[in-house]
Amino acid sequence: MDSQPLRPRYHVVCRECRVERLVDGRDAAVAAEREHAKETGHRVVAERV
């Protein structure tokens, strides 16, 4: 990939409630996704912004 920032920012959004979070980096996005999914069983998506 060209000119990819070192820490892309991700917008983590729950499809089933109003939780959303802005995090730095893919690892943080995955962690936020998993954490919410584990707590609630909701489906969470992370998209780069």
Residues lying near Zn ion in the complex (CB under 5 A) = 14, 16-17, 19, 40, 42
**Shortest Cβ 41–Zn ion spacing (Å):** 8
For the record, the structure tokens of 7 come out as 């820490």
The percent of the chain in helix, strand and coil, each rounded to the nearest 5, is: 30, 35, 35
Instruction: Give the C-alpha separation, 27 to 13, whole Å.
Output: 15
Of 4 and 38, nearer to Zn ion (C-beta) is 38
Taking the complex as a whole, how short is the minimal distance between the CB of residue 27 and Zn ion, in angstroms?
20
Q: Shortest approach of Zn ion to residue 32 CB, angstroms?
A: 11
